[in-house]
């Protein structure tokens, strides 16, 4: 049996997929989810073989779901937008169903899923999700140690600080830990808004109140909340290009 999770925020779409799957005894539906938060939790609980995943969902989209998973099921995107379908097709690792789809098209894709089941050397779906996300990112997703997920809009981030093998995202006085190198996050965020002012700091330039000379070739950025961040010589040069 191919253990399957259906993820779609639209009830008619879930109903149709459930109906089509019921005609094939090789598949077992172990969970149905109406949003990305439920999907991440369900994958951890059920360890499915197949994830039928909508892309456009509120709060957490399909690509963000994949980036949070520590399992690698076969993933089939279910989407009404052919631009997303093309991106999934181009990586040659995921299949897709373009809404509205016929029973014939659905079962054609499920036949490919059965072939993929025999392939144990599957790519990481987290890496695939990260590669397919639109950039620059409009939000960061943080998974806490207790399994809860928090979505942080990019515009609300004050600054990001490197911390060991991860970062601390500072937003409105809160400090959120995320296991991702600061260089990777910086490459994904809007370069016209976020600047690497120091090897340990990535700053939202909208938060700058002023920049003061601290020592020779050394400056400090003073933020609107009175936070003070070091600015390296190269960081100051990057800032000057935008300010």
pLDDT confidence of residue 123: 64
Backbone angles phi, psi at 92, to 5 degrees: 60, 15
Residues 34, 9: contact at Cβ < 8 Å?
yes
Q: Please tell me if the domain spanning 2-132 has the same topology as the one spanning 139-242.
A: no
What is the Cβ-side half-sphere exposure of residue 33, based on CA atoms within 13 angstroms?
Answer: 29
The rounded distance, in Å, linking the Cα atoms of 30 and 26 is 13
The rounded distance, in Å, linking the Cα atoms of 196 and 37 is 31
| pLDDT grade for 47, boundaries at 50, 70 and 90 | very high
Q: How many CB atoms lie within 10 A of CB 41?
A: 15
Prediction pTM value: 0.78
Q: What angle do CA 180, 208, 186 make, to 5 degrees?
A: 20
Compute the mean pLDDT over every residue in the chain, rounded to the nearest whole number: 89
Q: In what order do the strands lie in the sheet with 228-231?
A: 208-215, 218-223, 228-231
What is the CATH topology of the domain spanning 139-242?
OB fold (Dihydrolipoamide Acetyltransferase, E2P) (2.40.50)
pLDDT confidence of residue 84: 66
Answer whether residue 75 shows pLDDT above 70: yes
The rounded distance, in Å, linking the Cα atoms of 53 and 36 is 9
How many residues are recorded in the chain?
243
| pLDDT grade for 205, boundaries at 50, 70 and 90 | very high
Q: Where are the domains of the chain?
A: 2-132, 139-242
The rounded distance, in Å, linking the Cα atoms of 125 and 222 is 40
The DSSP-derived string for 83-124 is: HHHHHHHHTTS-EEEESS--HHHHHHHHHHHHHHHT---PPP
Q: Among residues 118, 144, 140, which one has the least CA distance to residue 60?
A: 140
167-198: pLDDT as tens digits: 999 999 899 999 999 999 999 999 999 999 99
| pLDDT grade for 111, boundaries at 50, 70 and 90 | very high
Average pLDDT of the segment spanning 21-37: 95
pLDDT confidence of residue 145: 83
86-97: pLDDT as tens digits: 666 655 556 788
Whether domain 2-132 has CATH 3.10.28.10? no
**Residue with the larger pLDDT of the pair 237 and 147:** 237
């Amino acid at each position: 049996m191919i253990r399957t999770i259906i993820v779609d925020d639209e009830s008619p779409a879930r109903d149709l997929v459930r109906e089509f799957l019921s005609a094939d005894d090789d598949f077992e539906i172990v969970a149905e989810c109406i949003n990305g938060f439920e999907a991440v939790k369900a994958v951890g609980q059920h360890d499915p073989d197949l994830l039928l995943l909508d892309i456009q969902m509120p709060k957490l989209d399909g690509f963000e779901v994949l980036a949070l998973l520590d399992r690698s099921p076969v993933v089939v995107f279910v989407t009404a937008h052919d631009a997303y379908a093309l991106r999934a097709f181009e990586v040659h690792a995921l299949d897709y169903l373009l809404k509205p789809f016929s029973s014939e098209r659905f079962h054609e894709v499920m036949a490919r899923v059965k072939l993929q089941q025999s392939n144990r050397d599957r790519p990481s779906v987290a890496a695939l999700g990260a590669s397919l996300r639109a950039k620059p990112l409009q939000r960061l997703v943080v998974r806490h140690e207790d399994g809860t997920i928090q979505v942080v809009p990019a515009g609300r981030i004050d600054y990001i600080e490197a911390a060991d093998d991860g970062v601390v995202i500072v937003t409105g006085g809160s400090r959120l830990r995320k296991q991702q190198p600061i260089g990777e996050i910086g490459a994904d965020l809007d370069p016209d808004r976020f600047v690497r002012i120091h090897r340990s700091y990535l700053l939202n330039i909208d938060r700058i109140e002023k920049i003061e000379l601290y020592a020779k070739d050394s400056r400090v950025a003073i933020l609107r909340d009175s936070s003070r961040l070091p600015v390296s010589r190269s960081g100051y040069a990057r800032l000057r290009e935008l300010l």
